[in-house]
Amino acid sequence: MFRVVAYASTASVAQIIPFIGGLITLIWWIFLSVKGVQRMHRTTSGRAAAAVLLPLVAVCACIFIAMIVVFGVLFAVGHRSGSTL
């Protein structure tokens, strides 16, 4: 798996392109990772894509949930201290 990540890291060369380099890098990194996992483990492209994308989706979901909790707490504290009767 280390080799797959190392080879897929070459996608960062695309970041020299202004404005869209980051997007191109992300898409190319995902493509190279999926192809590398597929060949290394001799599996289907669907399973390889799931192996690459599921951790990314899980991290994004955790960050989103943490943001909701933090903003909810901040809203509750702000709402509570602002109401004087």
Spans of all domains in the chain: 2-82
Residue 45 structure tokens: 């492209």
**Chain length of the chain:** 85
Against a cut of 0.75, is the pTM above it?
no
Task: Give the three-state DSSP class for 1.
Answer: coil
Residue 62 CA to residue 78 CA, distance in Å, equals 24
Q: Which of 3-7, 58-62, 78-82 comes out lowest in average pLDDT?
A: 78-82
**Which residue, 44, 25, 23, 22, is CA-closest to 35?**
44
What does the pLDDT look like over 1-46, one tens digit per residue?
Answer: 788 888 888 888 888 888 898 899 999 999 999 999 999 999 999 9
